[in-house]
Amino acid sequence: MTEPDRPDPPSGAIPPHDFDALYSETPPWDIGRPQAPFVALAEAGALTGRVLDVGCGTGEHALLAAGLGAEVTGIDLAPRAIELARRKAAERGLPARFLVADVRELDALGGRFDVVVDCGLFHVLSDADRPRFVDGLRSVLVPGGRYLMLCFSDAVPGTSGPRRIRRDEITATFAAGFSVAAIEPAFIEATITPEPIPAWLATIVRSDAPVA
């Protein structure tokens, strides 16, 4: 995720090095626990099998899944975040794997996953990076695998912070090779505001059908 009070740079993306710098302190999206929508998904049995957490930050959602017995990999471009995630995994005795890796190059991971978890990554992807990310998802998700995504919605007031995502943007982005099973209103918490931030929680399934 990005800072809710930080203006968007052109095309809606923040350079990767900025993320690492932000982890020299606690960034506002790191609330020290999993976001409530993912806790609910975990309780519903949605975080099972081989799980990939993209843009994992300090690993709370990856570790949530690992605690339920999933085989978990978390990736992030910020080395400081990955170091903190590995430290948490060691302290909690959880067998999660954390890697410094680029979400635009998911096929380089060399693995297949049943579930991909995304908390606050999709809304920071630039227009140019979004198709690369979607292609990567298609390559790493098994047929019938699920992409569970929580992003800022267009109900967020103001103009600062991450780009707002419309429901129709989600359906259009995943029109080929995926089926959008659900897009539900949700919230994201951040340390810099007492009020939860309006979000979308999307469940997107990789289709068996080949992409035309």
Q: State the Cα–Cα distance between residues 175 and 198, nearest whole angstrom.
A: 24
Q: Each residue of 79-101: pLDDT tens digit?
A: 999 999 999 999 999 999 999 99
Does residue 146 lie in a domain region? yes
Q: Each residue of 145-200: pLDDT tens digit?
A: 999 999 999 998 888 778 899 999 999 999 999 999 999 999 999 988 888 999 99
Does residue 109 lie in a domain region? yes
Q: Which CATH number goes with the domain that contains 133?
A: 3.40.50.150
Does residue 16 lie in a domain region? yes
Does residue 110 lie in a domain region? yes
Q: State the Cα–Cα distance between residues 58 and 29, nearest whole angstrom.
A: 10
Does residue 182 lie in a domain region? no
Q: Each residue of 26-76: pLDDT tens digit?
A: 888 889 999 999 999 999 999 999 999 999 999 999 999 999 999 999 999
Total domain count for the chain? Answer: 1
- Residues of 112-124 as b/e, b for ≥16 C-beta within 10 angstroms? ebbbbbbbbbbbb
Does residue 71 lie in a domain region? yes
pTM of the model: 0.89
Regarding beta strands 71-76 and 141-152, do their DSSP bridges make them parallel or antiparallel, or are they unpaired?
unpaired
Please give the residue range of the domain that contains residue 29.
Answer: 10-177+201-206
Does residue 67 lie in a domain region? yes
Q: Give the pLDDT confidence score for residue 19 in this predicted structure.
A: 77
Res 13 pLDDT > 80: no
Does residue 127 lie in a domain region? yes
Q: State the Cα–Cα distance between residues 182 and 193, nearest whole angstrom.
A: 28
